[in-house]
Structure formats: C-alpha cells, structure tokens
C-alpha cells in the first residue's frame, strides 16, 4: 500500500523528509509545517525524498518552491530526490522547476551534495536580507526599445547569446529541440503534462470568483496560487515551446503584444514581491462594498528598494516594476489575470498540438 504520511529523520546531520504517494491540498499544509519546523530549528538545507510520490498538485509544488526560496535566502535550499523515470520528475521538468530546485536520482547523491555544501545552521539574530531575484534575471523584449538584455550561455551548446524572452535558455530553436529530445522523454507524456498544467492554471484562476471576500487569508492564497501558475507556465512555454509561443504572439498586433508582454512581466513583479515575504495584501485594493474578488484592483506602489541586488538584476526587476505600474496598477485582478490566462491557454494548446504532430511524424 502506498505511503500516505510524511516521515522525517536525521541522516548525517541533514534533515530528510520522505513524502507520501500523493501531495495535494489536503496534505500540502503538513508539508509546509514540517519544512517550516526544520527551518525554524536552524537547518538551512533539507532533503525531500519524493521517490515514492506519484502525484503532486499545485499546492504541493508551491510549498516546495516557498520552502526553497526561504532556505536560499539563508544560504541553503531544498534538495529533492526524484526517480529519473518517475511521474513527479516529468511534471517538475515540464513546469520548469528543474532549473530552480536541485534534484538528484538517489538519496546518497543528495546527501553527498549537502555535505559538500557544508551545511551550517542559521545564525540566530543574523540579519536576513530579502530573497534574491531569479538566478537569471531577464525581461521580455520590446518592439520599440527597452532595457538591454543580459547575455547568458546556451544550456545545450554553451554559446553566449542575448535572450529575446525572459526564460529563454537556448541560443537557437535547434538547440532547444535537441535539449528537449535528450531530457524530456516521451512526447505524449510531456504533452499530457503540459495540458495538465494548463488545466491547473485554469482551475486556480476559476476559483477566484468563488472565494468569499470576508475570508481574506483564503482570498490572498487563491490570488497567489493564480499568479504562481501563470508565471510558471509562461516560463515553461518560453523554455520548451518557443515555436508555439511565437506563433500565438505573432497573431496579435504590436500593441496587443506589448500589452501581453507587460502584463506577464507585471505579474512576475507580483510573484517576486511575494517571494520576498512581502504581504500580498499591500498590492491589492479590496474596495469598500466590492463583493467579487475579480473586481478588486492592484494598487499603485512605490518602487521597492533594489540596492541589495547587482546592477543588472536591479535593471531587470525595475523593468518588472514599471510593467506592473503600467499594466496592473489601477486595473482589476479579473481583467489582468484573464488576459494572461487567455494567451497562455492558446499557446499551451498550440504547443500540445505541435508535440502531438511531431510524435505522429516520428512514428510515420
């Protein structure tokens, strides 16, 4: 019978949490409590064994990301153990988290990396600086001018290139296709995972009108969940399905493309605001007597302090802030989320169709 409870133990001085077969909204809270407890005890690095996990929904994925960012801010991070051919790793890769949280094929490998990193308990009273921005801070390109893109190395061939999309990791479409063939496995499985992710995003955003406005903690969690899915799927599509992304984008006018790009960039500002442990409520104007969450609006907010970031990272995050001010501030949550979801759903459907067509062509 598959495990239904979390187990935890200390191995070689490192906390190891063994997850159950399924992580969903009913068990994600327990995962959050366990990871918070170890973090509170001063352990900056925790190993999570997911080799027995067959399903993990958005609630579980979100808790893993939260815990990892919290640990990274203190000099550590999560270390996941996943089966190389397991269902969890397929979803994990498709959604793009493989580039965020380190993962290993065996518990022995994860523990070896932990020892090599020389785990140190967090020093009590140590001043904690804000969580860092994403490791490769970029932004969508603008048609009529904008910020200078940061160069990076192609993950397939190593060539230095200037990305045209925020999450681009490859210098050409050929390199992206080659990397996908080597790492993503069965195209049918990956198309299914992408469709599942799009459905999860749609489900998260569809819940917004259903949440009662008086239950503010639940409201903010629902909005955060929607923003998290939108930004993660946007990253996934750019990384692995750029052809579909560009096809759908090209069908819009230049003004519409700017609107879509800046709306997505603004939502990434919201995501980063949340990751720095700032209150989401500080970004939202509930409005007296407004009975629907979708009619709440995003607030105008002052530019966040960015001096702690390197100069280039400051420019990237400032661009996201400017996009937030231009496209989200003063607009309703329903409108901005709806624009992003419509574009990503169309793009995701196109990506799944292209994958399916490629699979049939290969078989023929």
Question: Burial of 235 by CB count in 10 Å (0-12 exposed, 13-18 middle, 19+ buried)?
Answer: buried
Q: What's residue 22's pLDDT?
A: 85
Q: What's residue 203's pLDDT?
A: 76
pLDDT confidence tier of residue 324, bands split at 50, 70 and 90: very high
Maximum alpha-carbon separation in the chain? 64
Q: What's residue 359's pLDDT?
A: 47
What's the CA gap between 318 and 333, in Å, rounded?
A: 21
- b (16+ CB within 10 A) / e for 106-133: ebeebbeebeeeebeebeeeeeeebbbb
Query: Tens of pLDDT along 55-78?
Result: 787 678 878 888 888 888 788 889
| Backbone Cα Rg of the chain | 20
Query: Tens of pLDDT along 114-131?
Result: 877 644 444 433 333 333
Q: What's residue 304's pLDDT?
A: 84
| Phi/psi at 307 (5° precision) | -60, -25
Checking if the pLDDT of 198 tops 60, the result is yes
Q: What's residue 291's pLDDT?
A: 65
- What's the mean pLDDT in 337-349? 86
Q: Both tokens of residue 149? A: 């893109």
Q: Both tokens of residue 238? A: 């750019």
Q: Both tokens of residue 275? A: 């990751």
Contact status, residue 119 vs residue 43, Cβ threshold 8 Å: yes
Beta bridge partners of 56: 23
Q: Both tokens of residue 98? A: 């493989």
pLDDT confidence tier of residue 193, bands split at 50, 70 and 90: low
DSSP codes of every residue in 132-191: PPPSS------TT--PPPPPEE-TTT--EE--SSTT---SSHHHHHHHHHHHS--HHHHH
Beta bridge partners of 284: 298
Angle, helices 216-240/58-73, rounded to nearest 10 degrees: 90
Q: What's residue 164's pLDDT?
A: 63
What's the CA gap between 350 and 243, in Å, rounded?
A: 9
Q: Which residues contact 37 (CB under 8 A, 6 or more apart)?
A: none
Residue bearing the bigger pLDDT, 296 or 148: 296
pTM above 0.85, yes or no: no
What's the CA gap between 364 and 358, in Å, rounded?
A: 10
Residue closest to 293 by CA, chosen among 232, 215, 200, 202: 215
For the chain, the distance separating the N- and C-terminal CA atoms, rounded to the nearest angstrom, is 41
Query: Tens of pLDDT along 132-178?
Result: 333 333 333 333 333 334 577 887 888 888 776 555 677 887 787 77
What's the CA gap between 273 and 303, in Å, rounded?
A: 11
Q: What's residue 269's pLDDT?
A: 92
Q: How many residues does the chain have?
A: 364
Query: Tens of pLDDT along 14-46?
Result: 899 999 888 877 788 888 889 988 888 888 899
């Amino acid at each position: 019978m598959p495990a239904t409870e979390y187990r935890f133990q200390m191995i070689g001085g490192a906390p190891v949490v063994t997850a159950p077969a399924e992580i969903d909204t009913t068990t994600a809270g327990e995962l959050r409590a366990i990871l918070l407890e170890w973090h509170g005890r001063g352990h900056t690095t925790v190993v999570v064994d997911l080799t027995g996990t067959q399903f993990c929904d958005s609630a579980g994925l979100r808790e893993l990301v939260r815990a990892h960012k919290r640990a990274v801010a203190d000099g550590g991070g999560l270390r996941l153990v996943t089966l190389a051919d397991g269902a969890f790793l397929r979803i994990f890769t498709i959604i793009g988290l493989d580039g965020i949280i380190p993962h290993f094929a065996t518990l022995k490998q994860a523990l070896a990396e932990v020892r090599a990193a020389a785990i140190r308990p967090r020093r009590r009273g140590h001043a904690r600086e804000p969580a860092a921005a994403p490791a490769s801070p970029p932004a969508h390109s603008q048609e009529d001018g904008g910020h200078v893109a940061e160069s990076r190395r192609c993950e397939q061939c190593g060539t230095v290139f200037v990305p045209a999309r925020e999450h681009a990791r490859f210098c050409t479409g050929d390199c992206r296709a080659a990397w996908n063939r080597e790492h993503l496995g069965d195209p049918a499985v990956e198309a299914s995972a992408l469709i599942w992710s799009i459905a999860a995003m749609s489900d998260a955003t569809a819940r917004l009108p259903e949440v009662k406005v008086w239950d503010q903690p639940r409201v903010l969690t629902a909005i955060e969940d929607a923003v998290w899915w939108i930004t993660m799927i946007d990253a996934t599509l750019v990384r692995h399905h750029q052809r579909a992304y560009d096809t759908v984008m090209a069908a819009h006018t230049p003004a519409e493309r700017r609107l879509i790009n800046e709306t997505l960039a603004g939502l990434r500002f919201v995501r980063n605001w949340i990751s720095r442990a700032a209150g989401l409520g500080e970004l939202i104007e509930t409005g007296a007597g407004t009975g629907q969450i979708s009619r709440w609006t995003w607030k105008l907010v002052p530019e966040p302090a960015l001096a702690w970031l390197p100069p280039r990272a400051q420019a990237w995050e400032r661009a996201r802030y400017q996009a937030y001010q231009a496209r989200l501030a003063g607009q309703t949550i329903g409108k901005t989320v709806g624009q992003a979801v419509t574009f990503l759903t169309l793009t995701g459907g196109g990506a799944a169709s292209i994958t399916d067509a490629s699979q049939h062509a290969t078989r023929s």
